[in-house]
Each structure stands twice: as C-alpha cells, then as structure tokens.
C-alpha cells in the first residue's frame, strides 16, 4: 500500500450540489461503469486491435470484462491496492483497455502516460503520484532497462520504485491464471479522484490532473450525445489512446458507454488507417491537424474506400480553414472540430452548425453550465467578439492540479481565486457563441497536437556543460503546426546539434520533445526586467531563419 492520495483542490459543495441536481453528476463510479456496460452489451464486439504480441484480437464486451478482471488480478498480484496509482505507458494495443478497465474495476488510479515517455517523464509521474506499479509493453522498448532508469530517477527522492508489469509477458492462454488473486470491490465513490491525466506539457514539477467519475462520465455521456455515438459506432483510434481527446471527447469511453466498437491502430499512417477503415467499416475517427492534412493528401492520390466513414473529428491544435474545407469532399465524411483540454472544458462544432462555422470555428462548449470568461491582461472581460485569454470553470473542469506541496503555488497562478482555470489559450467568441482559438499565452509548444513545456526542454539542455543559456520556442511549421526550436548561447567551442540531441535523449526525454531546430546566438534579446524575451526571440528567429537556412 502506497501513501494515500494527497488532498486535491476540488469543487465547493454548492457547485457539487448544483451539478448533482442538474443531473450532470451521478452516483455511477468507474467500477459500476465497467460492470454495467460489459454486462449490458456482453455479446457485442467491443475492441479490435493488436495485442502485445502483434496478434489481432477481437474482444466482445464479455471478453473485455474477463480481461479487465484478470488485469485487476495481476495488479493485485504485484501488490497494488485499491486507491494506489498505476502509471500506464502502453501503445494502442488491446491490453490498454483491459488494464485501464481493470484498474477502474479494483479502484486503482491509472496515471495516463504515453508509450513514448522515457525515464525523465515516467520518473516524474511515479514520483508525484507515488505509483505502486508501472505498466508497459516490451518490444519497441527494453522495459526492464527503462524500469531500472526510472528507479534511478526516483532514488534521490527516496521514492520506492514501482512494481513493473510487462503486458507482453501475459500468457492469456495459460491455465496458470489460478495464481491471479481475487479482486476486492473498489472502495471509491463517484466523487473521489478516479485517475490522473497529464497536463499539456509537464514542467519542472509534473502537474497531474485529478478527474472523478462524476465529472468525467458527465463529459463522456454528453459527448456521446453531441457526437451521436451509438451502438452502430465503430471508432478508429490512431492518436495515442491515453490522451483525453481519444479517451473521452467522445473517445473510447463514449463508445463503451453506448455499446459501439473500438478499433485500435498502432500507427496513424494513411495506408494502415485506410485499410482498417474499409476492413472494419469504421464510422468515426479523431485526428490532429497534421494527420488530417496527411490523410487528405494521401486520399487524393489513392482514392481509398472510405464509404463507411461518417465523421472526422479534428482537434488538439488549430486546424486551418483550407484543410477544414477539404475534409468532406476528399474523405467523404462530416468534419467536427474539437477544442479541448485534459483539465476539462471541451468544445465541439455540432452536426447542425452551418458549414462556415464548422470550417472556421472550434465550436461551443459541451455544457450549458460551462462558464467562460474572456479577459485581458488585467483579468478584465474584453469587449464581445474581441480576442482575450480564456478562463473557464464548470461541471467537468478541475479546480486544481494534483501534486506535491509545490503544486499549490502552481495552482495559485493556474486558477483564479474563484476557481476558474486559466487555459492559456487566446480566443474570440462570435455572436453565435462559437469559439475561435486565435493563439496562446502559455510557455508551451504544440507540436502536432503534443504539448511540450518549454522549461522542460530548457532545463535538460542547461545540464550540458557547454551551454550558457537556452530558450525553447515553437516556430510555425506548415505541417506540424509548430516545430520545437531551441535558441542557444554557448561557450566557445559550440556543441554540435546532434550532440545536444543525444544529450536530451540520454537525459531520458521522449523523442517527440527533441528539438527540430538548433539556433546559436551570441546575445539574447531581454525584457525590461532582464529575462529572456520569447516574443522578441521569435521575431528575431523569423528574420534569422530567413537568412540562415536550418542547421539540422
Ligand atoms: C487536447 O488536450 P491537451 O490537454 O493535450 O491540450 C490542451 C490544449 C488547449 O489548451 C489548446 O492550447 C490546445 O491544446 N488545443 C487546441 C485545440 N484543441 C486543443 N488549440 C486550437 N484548436 C483546437 N481545436 O488537446 C484535447 C483534449 C480534449 C479534446 C480535444 C483536444
């Protein structure tokens, strides 16, 4: 048994009572959800995809219940107790669904990491959550070695390493499963924290997002209604399934809620995806803008059979209007724009919205009780229709991050005193109520929908002996949306970009955070208080890159 979950800032009782009385929040827990849906839809096909051994699996809801029960048993077998945290770092394989539902079934709290995370990230998540287990899949990664590295990251903090679970070592055919202990009933209530999501880009202190069954399942049910998810839905998942978008917006949980089918793809290339769409008669898929662009250009050339596809959701980063207009003519499916965040708020364009709004806006929020404030630098509301920073609170938006004591100072700036979350997004609201995301005022890079905290890259770079200063900025990129660019001031005898990339890799940073571009400058522009000015750096880079082609 690990330490109990620390207290988290939460909704005041008045708000809770209101969300309950409006029917948003119910008594249903995730354990109830797993049992009820897998029983209700028992005979239907639930999950299709590769397993840890690369074999094709096709599980009914009854199979899924069975797999989840076994996964829960396996968690218990390595000492995970109800209430403990379990870091899940799996690719899009069927075991992901089994492990997550298994954790829910026994009341363990999944921490949704990515299969691409390495010891720098996983070590942080384990430390912050005091994780009892780390679940991965050996194959592309040497899991034992990764586990040792995670333990090394944890040692200086005095945190016990998590037990390692390698789903590739599970032998489901073996009858030796009698060794799997019986699973106790989950002790969690609907308003207890049920899992921890990652915030977009973790900084020096990992910010974990505490979500409850009450708030999350409300967003799942409402998303299923808005996105017309039903028993006929066949959802292809090409984005990393642990992200909030493919998980709940409407995501795999909406599909399980309604008795539809999930098709997991291990990679997102048009070739693989188009074949799966035709073979499995896929009706819907969620994409980030770069993938939407890649699918569109590939579909133009290949003319794949996409007749089953009814809707394509695009979100995670701003979609340009041109690509938006191409979705229906080229992919033959309705576009739905999704603007959301793992902290809560999700906004969708609706089926009944006119085309021009679907093409040019990021829709409107899920709930009539999502409260939005669009403010200037002094937190004063901007005039209607003007651009401002988006603040939000509501029935499924958290009131604070989970983390060690240091998190309270982060919470003090990330949330207003009256509980609004500062999204860091610049938006404008049209008279129709639709939101347009116009920019960002947070130190984050959005690379193809993956969020990267600039200070995380900078911190790791500055451990290199030859670097005097490092600033990471997102540079516009026609395909990725933004690329990761680092601007460096060095000792004479400048390190080569490849050495710096190796330095970051050996620090245990996920590959998607390795800079796309390294730029060396003798002087950095400063703000009037003497800090590095990212704004001026960006402007300088625009000219610099014009005259100096990229070095990598
Ligand atoms: C989704 O969640 P996160 O937590 O990875 O990232 C949230 C941030 C937002 O604050 C915003 O900066 C950006 O991602 N974002 C968009 C966007 N959707 C997300 N920026 C512009 N246009 C969009 N459509 O990315 C996420 C969570 C649930 C559903 C969809 C996306």
450 CA → ligand 1 middle, Å? 9
For Cα atoms 383, 384, 385, give the angle at the middle one, nearest 5 degrees.
110
Nearest to 365 by CA among 415, 435, 426, 315: 435
**What percent of the chain clears pLDDT 70, i.e. is strictly above it?**
96
34: phi then psi, degrees, rounded to nearest 5: -60, -50
pLDDT of residue 239: 98
Ligand 1 binding residues, C-beta < 6 A: 200, 244-245, 249, 315-318, 337-342, 346, 362, 423, 425, 437, 440, 446, 451
7 versus 419: the higher-pLDDT residue is 419
Q: Write the DSSP symbol of residue 378.
A: T
Q: Show the beta-strand stretches assigned E in 21-124.
A: 45-50, 56-60, 85-88, 109-112
Residue 458 falls inside a structural domain: yes
* pLDDT tops 90 at residue 513: yes
Angle between helices 497-506 and 454-461 (to 10 degrees): 100
Residue 267 reports pLDDT greater than 50: yes
Ligand 1 center from residue 209 Cα (angstroms): 15
Residue nearest to atom 20 of ligand 1 (CA): 317
How many CA atoms within 13 Å lie on the side-chain side of 330? 18
Per-residue pLDDT at 450: 95
Q: At what angle do helices 30-40 and 213-226 cross, to 10 degrees?
A: 40
Domain contains 465:
yes
37-56 pLDDT, tens digit per residue, is 999 999 999 999 999 999 99
d(CA 473, ligand 1 centre) in Å: 18
Look at strands 364-365 and 45-50 and give their pairing.
unpaired
Q: Is 339 helix (H, G, I), strand (E, B) or coil?
A: strand
Q: What is the mean pLDDT of residues 72-95?
A: 97
Would you say 127 and 151 are in contact if contact means Cβ atoms under 8 Å apart?
no
Whether the model pTM is above 0.85: yes
Return d(Cα 81, Cα 94) in angstroms, integer. 23
Cβ–Cβ under 8 Å, residues 453 and 443: yes
pLDDT at 202: 59
Q: Atom 22 in ligand 1: which residue has the minimum CA distance? A: 318
Q: What is the CATH number of the domain that holds 459?
A: 3.30.300.30
**Nearest ligand 1 atom to alpha carbon 338:** 24
| Spatial distance between the Cα atoms of 85 and 208, rounded to a whole number of angstroms | 12
**Is beta strand 45-50 parallel, antiparallel or unpaired with respect to 56-60?**
antiparallel
Q: Return the sign of the alpha-carbon dihedral for residues 171, 172, 178, 181.
A: positive
In a domain, 539, yes or no: yes
Residues 154 and 120: beta-carbon distance below 8 Å: no
| Average pLDDT score over residue span 420-432 | 97
In a domain, 75, yes or no: no
Rounded to an integer, the average pLDDT of 530-551 is 75
- Does the pLDDT at position 246 exceed 60? yes
Rounded to whole angstroms, the Cα distance separating 205 from 203 reads 5
Average pLDDT over residues 392-417: 91
pLDDT of residue 95: 98
Tell whether 182 is covered by a domain.
no
Enclosing domain of residue 452: 444-547
- pLDDT band at 552; cut points 50, 70, 90: very low
Residue with tokens 């009698």: 178
pLDDT in tens, 3-34: 888 888 999 999 999 999 999 999 999 999 99
Q: What is the mean pLDDT of residues 375-399?
A: 98
Locate the ligand 1 atom nearest the alpha carbon of residue 451 and give its number. 5
Residues 6+ apart with CB under 8 A from 189: 29
Contacts of 50 (CB under 8 A, 6+ apart): 56, 57, 92, 93, 94, 264, 266
Please spell the DSSP secondary structure of 473-520, one letter per residue.
Answer: EEEEETTTEEEEEEEEEE-SSPPPHHHHHHHHHHTT--GGGS-SEEEE
Compute CA distances 99 → 117, 302, 507, whole Å. Answer: 18, 37, 29
Total number of domains constituting the chain? 1
Measured CA to CA, the distance from residue 68 to residue 194 in angstroms comes to 16
Query: What residues have CB less than 8 Å from 58, skipping those under 6 apart?
Result: 45, 47, 48
Decide if 437 is inside a domain: no
Residue 81, number of CB atoms within 10 A of its CB: 15
Cα(259)–Cα(233) distance, rounded to whole angstroms?
8
Token pair of 188, please?
A: 């969690």
For residue 111, pLDDT beyond 90: yes
Contact between 131 and 109 (Cβ < 8 Å): no
Distance 240 CA to ligand 1 centre (A): 14
* Beta-carbon count within 10 A of 76 CB: 19
CB 372 within 8 A of CB 397: no
Question: Best mutation site among 340, 346, 401, 447 for ligand 1, i.e. most ligand atoms within 8 A of its Cβ?
Answer: 340
- Percent of the chain whose pLDDT exceeds 90: 86
Residue whose Cα lies nearest atom 6 of ligand 1: it is 341
Best probe residue, ligand 1, of 198, 199, 200 (max atoms within 8 Å of C-beta) = 200
Q: What is the mean pLDDT of residues 512-536?
A: 89
Mean pLDDT of 189-216: 89
User: How would residue 340 be classed by pLDDT, with cut points 50, 70 and 90?
Assistant: very high
Residue with tokens 């973790």: 202
Which tokens go with 256?
Answer: 């399980």
Residue 453 pairs with which residues in a beta bridge? 444
Across the chain, what does the average pLDDT equal? Answer: 94
* Res 550 pLDDT > 60: no
Residue whose pair of structure tokens reads 């340009």 in the numeric block: 320
Across residues 356-380, what is the average pLDDT?
98
Tell whether 82 is covered by a domain. no
pLDDT computed for residue 236 by the predictor: 98
Instruction: Please determine, for residue 238, whether its predicted confidence score (pLDDT) is greater than 90.
Output: yes
CB 229 within 8 A of CB 217: no
Place of tokens 């910010």: 207
pLDDT tens digits, 324-337 = 999 999 999 999 99
Q: Decide if 542 is inside a domain.
A: yes
């Amino acid at each position: 048994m690990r330490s109990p979950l620390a207290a988290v800032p939460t909704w005041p009782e008045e708000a809770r009572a209101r969300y309950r009385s409006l029917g948003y929040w119910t008594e249903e827990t995730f354990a109830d959800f797993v049992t009820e849906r897998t029983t209700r839809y028992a005979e239907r096909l639930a999950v299709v995809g590769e397993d840890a051994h690369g074999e094709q699996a096709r599980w009914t809801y009854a199979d899924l219940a069975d797999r989840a029960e076994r996964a829960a048993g396996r968690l218990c077998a390595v000492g995970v107790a109800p209430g403990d945290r379990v870091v899940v770092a799996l690719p899009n394989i069927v075991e992901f669904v089994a492990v997550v539902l298994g954790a829910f079934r026994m009341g363990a709290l999944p921490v949704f990491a990515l299969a691409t995370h390495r010891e720098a990230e996983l070590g942080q998540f384990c430390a912050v959550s005091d994780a009892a287990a780390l679940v991965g899949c050996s194959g592309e990664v040497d899991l034992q070695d990764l586990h040792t590295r995670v333990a090394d990251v944890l040692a200086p903090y005095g945190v016990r390493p998590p037990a390692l679970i390698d789903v590739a070592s599970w032998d489901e055919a073996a009858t030796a499963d009698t060794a799997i202990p019986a699973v106790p009933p989950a002790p969690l209530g609907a308003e207890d924290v049920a899992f921890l999501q990652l915030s977009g880009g973790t900084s020096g202190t990992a910010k974990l997002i505490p979500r409850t069954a009450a708030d999350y399942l409300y967003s799942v049910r409402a998303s299923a209604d808005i996105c017309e998810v039903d028993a006929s839905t066949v959802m292809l998942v090409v984005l990393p399934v642990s992200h909030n978008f493919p998980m709940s917006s409407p995501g795999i949980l909406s599909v399980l809620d309604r008795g539809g089918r999930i098709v997991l793809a291990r990679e997102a290339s048009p070739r693989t995806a188009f074949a799966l769409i035709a073979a499995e008669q896929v009706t819907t898929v969620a994409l980030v803008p770069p993938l939407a662009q890649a699918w569109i250009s590939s579909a133009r050339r290949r003319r794949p059979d996409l007749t089953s596809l009814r809707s394509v959701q695009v979100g995670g980063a701003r979609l340009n209007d041109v690509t938006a207009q191409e979705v229906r003519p080229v992919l033959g499916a309705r576009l739905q724009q999704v603007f959301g965040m793992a902290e809560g708020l999700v906004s969708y364009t609706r089926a009944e919205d006119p085309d021009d709004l679907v093409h040019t806006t990021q829709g409107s929020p899920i709930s009539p009780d999502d409260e939005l404030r669009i403010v200037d630098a002094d937190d004063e509301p901007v005039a209607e229709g003007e651009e401002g920073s988006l603040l939000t609170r509501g029935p499924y938006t958290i009131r604070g991050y989970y983390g060690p004591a240091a998190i309270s100072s982060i919470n003090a700036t990330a949330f207003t005193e009256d509980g609004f979350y500062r999204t860091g997004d610049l938006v404008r609201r049209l008279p129709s109520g639709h939101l347009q995301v116009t920019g960002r005022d947070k130190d984050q890079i959005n690379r193809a929908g993956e969020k990267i905290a600039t200070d995380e890259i900078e911190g790791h770079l500055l451990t290199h002996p030859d670097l005097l200063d490092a600033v990471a900025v997102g540079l516009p990129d026609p395909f990725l949306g933004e690329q990761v660019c680092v601007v460096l001031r060095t000792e004479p005898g400048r390190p080569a970009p490849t050495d710096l990339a190796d330095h970051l890799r050996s620090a245990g940073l996920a590959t998607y955070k390795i800079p796309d571009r390294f730029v060396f400058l003798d002087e950095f522009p400063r703000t009037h208080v003497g800090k590095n000015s990212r704004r001026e750096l960006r402007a300088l880079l625009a000219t610099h890159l014009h005259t100096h082609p990229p070095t990598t």
